Amino acid sequence: MDSRFIEVGGIRTHYLEGGQIEAPVVFLLHSGEYGASAELSWEHVLPALATRFHVIAPDWLGFGCTDKLYDFAAPRERSFGHMRDFVKLMLAKRCADSADFVGSSMGATNLLRMAAARPCELPVRSIVVASGGGFVPMTDARRTLLSYDKSIDSMRSTLNAMFHDERWSCDDAYVKRRQHYALMPGAWEFASAPRMAAPNRAETVTPFGKRDDIDYEAIDVPTLIIAGAEDRLRERGYEQEVARRIVGSEVHVFESCGHCPNIEQAERFCDLTLAFLSRVHQL
């Protein structure tokens, strides 16, 4: 995979790209915890998907090696607009008008929200979502993620909250890689900005614990939903409700798996995703 940069509306945007030159384009949209990036979300998935598809994995605005800018007036609109413009530029380079999208956690929820918008905010041909969508409760594990204080121990706690298997938080090299992205200039400030309280508000603004307002019934493209049975950041069974509301969707729940099936059980995740995309494209 090649590591590249492109200017998107004046924003220096980083992405990974590789795979078959003439194959269908697949975009991978990463998660949103402290230290998240395209590399960390998709390093176990990229090689497998690249054997059959042309894969592009961008760092969201404010994450990874993409510029750290936060729009306090309209954060979601700025982030979605940046991603729309990036996708448009990438598809124009390849003379393509649609693509398949795979998302994890924040990337999956954002993908579902953008696909459900009318007009649709992305040129979506099919969707694969891991640990995305549905009501997001304020659990103890979620509080652990939000309380990251830039220390090694806090990052270990973050990984324990995300994964079912403790080996990830016990791997010193892996923890340090997470820390590298979490402590890049502006990264902690960007990820903390959504939880800053305005002077006239008694409580910090948070998207967690609020009603799920995504119009899933509006999604009319092939959709694969993957969840971890031991995901402590989500309500048990949320994936079934999302699947019920997306006509024709397919759902799989991985046992002994936490919030990141694309990392914790990457081989099975890749097998399901490749089989699903092959059916979409009749390969």
What is residue 60's predicted lDDT score, i.e. its pLDDT? 98
> pLDDT at residue 1 above 90?
no
**Residue 15 φ/ψ, nearest 5 degrees:** -155, 160
C-alpha of 232 from chain center: 17
> pLDDT at residue 205 above 90?
no
pLDDT more than 70, % of the chain: 95
What is residue 195's predicted lDDT score, i.e. its pLDDT? 76
Count of other CB atoms within 10 angstroms of residue 66: 23
Task: Report pLDDT digits (tens) over 22-73.
Answer: 899 999 999 999 999 999 999 999 999 999 999 999 999 999 999 999 998 8
Task: Report pLDDT digits (tens) over 133-169.
Answer: 998 899 999 999 999 999 999 999 999 999 999 999 9
Confidence of residue 122 (pLDDT cuts 50, 70, 90): very high
> pLDDT at residue 238 above 70?
yes
Rounded Cα–Cα distance for residues 132 and 110 (Å): 8
> pLDDT at residue 210 above 80?
no
Higher pLDDT, 207 or 51: 51
Rounded Cα–Cα distance for residues 253 and 197 (Å): 36
What is residue 212's predicted lDDT score, i.e. its pLDDT? 87
**Residue 196 φ/ψ, nearest 5 degrees:** -75, 135
Structure-token match 């609020």, residue found:
210
> Among 1-10, 148-157, 188-197, 271-280, which stretch is predicted with the lowest mean pLDDT?
188-197
> pLDDT at residue 223 above 90?
yes
Residue 170 sits at the vertex; the CA angle it makes with 169 and 173, to the nearest 5 degrees, is 90
Confidence of residue 196 (pLDDT cuts 50, 70, 90): confident
What is residue 194's predicted lDDT score, i.e. its pLDDT? 83
User: pTM of the full predicted structure?
Assistant: 0.94
Integer angstrom CA distances of residue 162 from 40, 46, 91, 131, 157: 13, 21, 33, 11, 9
